[in-house]
Amino acid sequence: MVELDDYQSDAENQWCPGCPNFGILKAMKNALVALAKRPDEICLVSGIGQAAKLPHYLRCNFFNGLHGRALPVATAISVVSPQLTTIVVTGDGDCYGEGGNHFLHTFRRNPNLTLIVHNNQTYGLTKGQASPTTDSGEKTRLQFEGVTISPLQPLALAILHDCPFVARGFAGDITHLTELFVAAIQFRGLAYVDVIQPCITWGTHSVSWYRDRIYRLPQDYDPHDKYAAMKKATEWGDRIPTGVFYQMDEPPQLFGEYFRANSYEGALTALKFPSRGAIAELLGQFKTAKQRGEMDRQGRGVV
């Protein structure tokens, strides 16, 4: 039996008291208990930011890496140790700004991991600058005249690129968020949940501003219609939908599937050193008598 207490971390929490980040942490623990995952079966990966500190507050394996770089680290972990439940916890600046390129290319790979983005529409840790999701016109601690460039549409981007599970939750609705996390972690493939997380210190909107606008997608919403999902995912302003926007019936190939089918199925950590015979055989291909026609044809005329 796994209990909430098993995830209790001794590390001192550095979040502002009352921050909705605590709601996300709670929902995550709930989801892991519901799925009966032991701490040693879980690997959290994060970058840098307030959100990215979450792994310190949930007892499990973690790699808290560089700003923006959680996804490539997690992608590699997911293929080396497929038996681990790998979850990325990141912020809107971390994931959509500094790590934007990885965000895009992770959709193409479809690794088996869960991506949870604490989207507070601001840079919390560096004290209130605009993030890629800050609405145009919002005045910040750096954009004094108001943000003049338009916000990124991360969910629509994900759907466009066939990220097979795309959802949005609200840090103020822990029950719903728990359900979303459970579904995302159970999903085989890349499951992405953007979580609206009002920043009570630097945010330009209050928690109630969000609460008044947020609604759950209706029961009869069809998450399999790609272009309808993209449209829904861009709805923002007077009404803000939450729930599973997009879920593919037939997800694309999992990252590493070819390798597992054709080379080695399990965790790569189980492999021993190659035998001397295997290496000698490989070297033998470079013996001039037997050589095959495959020299360095690469590296020609390339910049």
Chain residues binding ligand SF4 by CB under 6 A are: 15-16, 19, 21, 50, 120, 124, 199-202
Residue 15 site contact among ligand SF4, other proteins, ligand TPP, none (CB < 5 to 8 Å, cut-off depends on kind): ligand SF4
Nearest distance in Å: CB 83, other proteins: 6
Residue 63 site contact among ligand SF4, ligand TPP, other proteins, none (CB < 5 to 8 Å, cut-off depends on kind): other proteins
- Assess 55 for contact with other proteins (CB under 8 A): yes
Residue 17 site contact among ligand TPP, other proteins, ligand SF4, none (CB < 5 to 8 Å, cut-off depends on kind): none
- Of 217, 242, 44, 237, nearest to 155 by C-alpha is 242
Stretch that binds other proteins, among 60-68, 120-128, 129-137, 178-186 (CB under 8 A): 60-68
Residue 5 site contact among other proteins, ligand SF4, ligand TPP, none (CB < 5 to 8 Å, cut-off depends on kind): none
Amino acid at 178: T
Task: Please provide the DSSP assignment of 218-258 as one string.
Answer: PTT--TT-HHHHHHHHT--SS-EEEEEEEE-SSPPPPTTHH
Cβ atoms within 10 A of the Cβ of 157, count? 18
Query: Measured from the CB atom, is 150 or 262 closer to other proteins?
Result: 262
What six digits make up the tokens of 158?
Answer: 């994900």
Query: Measured from the CB atom, is 8 or 14 closer to ligand SF4?
Result: 14
- Assess 75 for contact with other proteins (CB under 8 A): yes
Stretch that binds other proteins, among 25-33, 151-159, 187-195, 263-271 (CB under 8 A): 263-271
Handedness of CA 167, 168, 170, 173 (dihedral sign): negative
Task: Out of 43, 55, 94, 111, point to the residue binding ligand TPP (CB under 6 A).
Answer: 94
Task: Out of 6, 34, 39, 138, point to the residue binding other proteins (CB under 8 A).
Answer: 39
Instruction: Tell me the C-alpha distance between 257 and 225, whole Å.
Output: 26
Q: E strand or H helix at 259, and its extent?
A: helix 257-262
Q: Give the orientation angle of helix 174-186 with respect to helix 21-34, to 10 degrees.
A: 50
DSSP alpha helix (H) spans, 47-173: 70-80, 92, 100-109, 154-160
Return the residues of window 26-55 that contact ligand TPP according to CB under 6 A. Answer: 48-51
